[in-house]
Chains A and B, each alone.
Chain A
């Protein structure tokens, strides 16, 4: 029997768990509600750099200790940083949960030693270089900067060579001290777990964590119609991206938006697939819903031969316009819902997938839904709901950013 448990510790840290005694493993993670959008431009990239530094040791552990301890549990573990959240997770066999929690919780109060900071800076600069060799990433960062121009959501998660080179350890310490309060994070666990034991361990580990009053800046982005082409003569392909406003993570229309986006641009069987990929005009074309904290957008992407760029762009825009004008069919809605349901079940059968789901839901909605309830929300999406999304968000204004050899 799967059950949900939740307590809030006195310092504000939420501990949530979806307990499944039949699971063979346990996934746990801290999700901190901070990311690139919470940075001032002078420290661009600090959230992500900090994520790396959290693995560099604590007052009672060296960096090598942290790495060795994860390996000694046979853990599968990692972390990621987005525009809005930073998440640290581990997937372990149930017997290692206490040790994994001890380690992850300790990491949440890092040493941030200057010598480690200087060494890791080199790694971050290499990570930036790695992504500069990936045109899809270059394009994604460019369109985010264009669409959210003047808003912190347009800031690069990695930061730039310049911002990272200039960043000093005290700036990171200050950012940590003002964003990693227990009330700004959640510990989520899914799988085979003894919840009372977990809470006891977490309480002891977080006894000294001070509550902080942290508020995110919710200035509303004001996207304008924009168009930019970036030339990189080295490239062989032409890449295009489009963004336009959509519902937010909290909006009741988010499920309908997800279904709609799949009808338009799932990687298989969608409108864009039949119009662009199946006839061989573009090797990739997709349209997706990109919800964020109290704002949101739709995102389209295609890549093609440079000689076909005008034709592909024309078809892409025509397909989107056709949907806005004529809507989508019931058969298309049903197919999309079925595909999303399968994805939900696949994701939901693994502790790591469930941990991520409940963690994100808690961070954005402060609520829990079992997998069946999540799937029911999707099932309830109707043609009328989709019409309403199209009425409210008719793909305007459009930001279009392209990248190619000429």
Chain B
């Protein structure tokens, strides 16, 4: 089952496939490893398909509470022993619930990897889920809901997601207050039993690591993990359209979403290039037209985001109430103008930006772990730097402009937060 990809090493940037290693366990867990030369650190990203999409319809926020509770003791270590042990190894770590995955991230010195991986094996297979830790974990999730109310930009992105994407993809991972209030420890413990499964889980290690050692460790500590996968609830359509929340903010928050093609679609590289022209740097259209030429915003940008099934271009701007309409209108002009095509200079700037980011990301173990997991999730395999480079270099201006002309962006889903509603563009 173990297949190390082999490829001729090219001169210069040395992150070719011979640094990468993929190993599938019989239980469905995939190990991806990437050896980064000249570093002492190692980054781990562990993604388990147990995210908010699996929350029972009457218990939204379960994954969020679980991602805290699960760290409060595992195997033979209680909450404090677990934390002290990882701190003693100097592990920087995080955990959180996303839509599809619950993700554990950790950065450490490579020499500590062998001591750290078994701890995460305990966490996902043998969490203590103590009664005493449930109340605080649930309480913190409810406090998070209030904290979001105090941060309008964060509130906007949650509202936009649930307006644009169908449930469960669009559901807020933070959950709903009334559901959290009603959630019990027994209920969540039972949920956990059928939620965490190795099937579809991805464990990525990048940096100072030894393939044989990591493979043995993962086989030893995760090989006996068995649980049947559970599937998300059926989709409910997204509300779409426009939503305004009246709130006395200093800036009007403007968020918009437009359907796009998913990452695995061959056309997604064209979309990314177009989004690069729109918002890839300070010379890109949104920054240049809305901030530099009109002084309407401090923050204005757009990005491409994709899950396996669905993708969108998400746009953001924050501006004063008296300038919000003009900002939104200008934003729409720029989106619509893309269908008229981009210039060769614009595309070359977007292209070199994508290439540089790809190469520079290769220097950071944490970024590499993220990229490897991303590729595996979307493409079912890691992609090499050479492959990415030729993909980026292969985009022709004529193809891009033809695509943009044939596929104008729209319609938009719009969410605004501020003192007054805006006129929704046609």
**Closest chain B CB from A128 CB (angstroms):** 8
Judge if B125 is at the interface, Cβ distance under 8 Å: no
A74 adjacent to B352 (CB under 8 Å): yes
B140 adjacent to A283 (CB under 8 Å): yes
Q: Among the listed A122, A129, A349, which residue makes an inter-chain contact with B39, where contact means beta carbons less than 8 Å apart? A: A349
A342 adjacent to B281 (CB under 8 Å): no
Among A61-69, A206-214, A246-254, A319-327, the stretch that binds chain B is A61-69
Among A4-12, A22-30, A34-42, A167-175, the stretch that binds chain B is A22-30
B87 adjacent to A335 (CB under 8 Å): yes
Complex Cα spacing A25 to B362, Å:
10
Residues of A within 8 A of B83 (CB): 268-269
Interface size on B, residues (CB 8 A): 75
Judge if A93 is at the interface, Cβ distance under 8 Å: yes
Given A72-B348, A237-B146, decide whether A129 and B135 contact each other with a Cβ distance below 8 A.
no
A342 adjacent to B92 (CB under 8 Å): yes
Residues of B within 8 A of A75 (CB): 281, 356
A283 adjacent to B143 (CB under 8 Å): yes
Residues of B within 8 A of A342 (CB): 41, 90-92, 107-109
Given A120-B295, A235-B150, A346-B41, decide whether A70 and B356 contact each other with a Cβ distance below 8 A.
no
A67 adjacent to B292 (CB under 8 Å): yes
Residues of B within 8 A of A120 (CB): 295
Judge if A92 is at the interface, Cβ distance under 8 Å: yes
Complex Cα spacing A339 to B112, Å:
12
Complex Cα spacing A279 to B140, Å:
9
- B-contact 0/1 string along A345-381, CB 8 Å cutoff: 1100111000000000000000000000000000000
Complex Cα spacing A278 to B295, Å:
44
Q: Is the interface of A mostly helix, strand, loop or mixed?
A: helix
Among B1-9, B245-253, B394-402, the stretch that binds chain A is B245-253
A71 adjacent to B349 (CB under 8 Å): yes
Given A237-B146, A278-B79, decide whether A71 and B282 contact each other with a Cβ distance below 8 A.
yes
Given A280-B136, A304-B143, decide whether A346 and B363 contact each other with a Cβ distance below 8 A.
no
Q: Among the listed B251, B280, B354, B355, which residue makes an inter-chain contact with A133, where contact means beta carbons less than 8 Å apart? A: B251
Judge if B360 is at the interface, Cβ distance under 8 Å: yes
Which residues of chain A (307-346) have a CB below 8 Å from chain B? 331, 334-336, 338-343, 345-346
Residues of A within 8 A of B79 (CB): 278
A72 adjacent to B250 (CB under 8 Å): no
A70 adjacent to B136 (CB under 8 Å): no
Complex Cα spacing A204 to B151, Å:
48
Residues of A within 8 A of B318 (CB): 126, 129-130
A64 adjacent to B283 (CB under 8 Å): yes
Closest to B86 in A: A269
B363 adjacent to A134 (CB under 8 Å): no
Which residues of chain B (298-342) have a CB below 8 Å from chain A? 298-299, 318-320
Judge if B297 is at the interface, Cβ distance under 8 Å: yes
Which residues of chain A (220-277) have a CB below 8 Å from chain B? 234-237, 268-269, 274, 277
Given A91-B360, A280-B139, A349-B41, decide whether A71 and B281 contact each other with a Cβ distance below 8 A.
yes
Judge if B231 is at the interface, Cβ distance under 8 Å: no
Residues of A within 8 A of B140 (CB): 277, 280, 283
**Closest chain B CB from A373 CB (angstroms):** 15
A303 adjacent to B282 (CB under 8 Å): no
**Closest chain B CB from A406 CB (angstroms):** 14
Judge if B57 is at the interface, Cβ distance under 8 Å: no
Complex Cα spacing A22 to B296, Å:
43
B360 adjacent to A25 (CB under 8 Å): yes
Given A74-B352, A76-B360, decide whether A126 and B41 contact each other with a Cβ distance below 8 A.
no
Residues of A within 8 A of B135 (CB): 280
A237 adjacent to B248 (CB under 8 Å): no
Judge if B89 is at the interface, Cβ distance under 8 Å: yes
The 25 sampled A-B contact pairs (Cβ below 8 Å) are A24-B360, A25-B363, A64-B292, A70-B281, A71-B353, A73-B352, A74-B353, A74-B355, A92-B356, A129-B320, A133-B152, A133-B251, A135-B150, A269-B83, A278-B136, A280-B136, A280-B139, A303-B147, A331-B88, A335-B84, A339-B87, A342-B41, A342-B92, A345-B41, A349-B363
* A-B CB proximity, top 6 nearest: A74-B356, A280-B136, A338-B90, A122-B295, A74-B352, A280-B139
With A123-B291, A268-B83, A283-B140 known, 19 other A-B pairs at CB within 8 A are: A22-B37, A66-B282, A67-B281, A68-B349, A71-B282, A72-B349, A126-B320, A130-B251, A133-B151, A135-B151, A234-B248, A237-B146, A268-B93, A283-B144, A303-B147, A342-B90, A346-B366, A349-B39, A350-B363
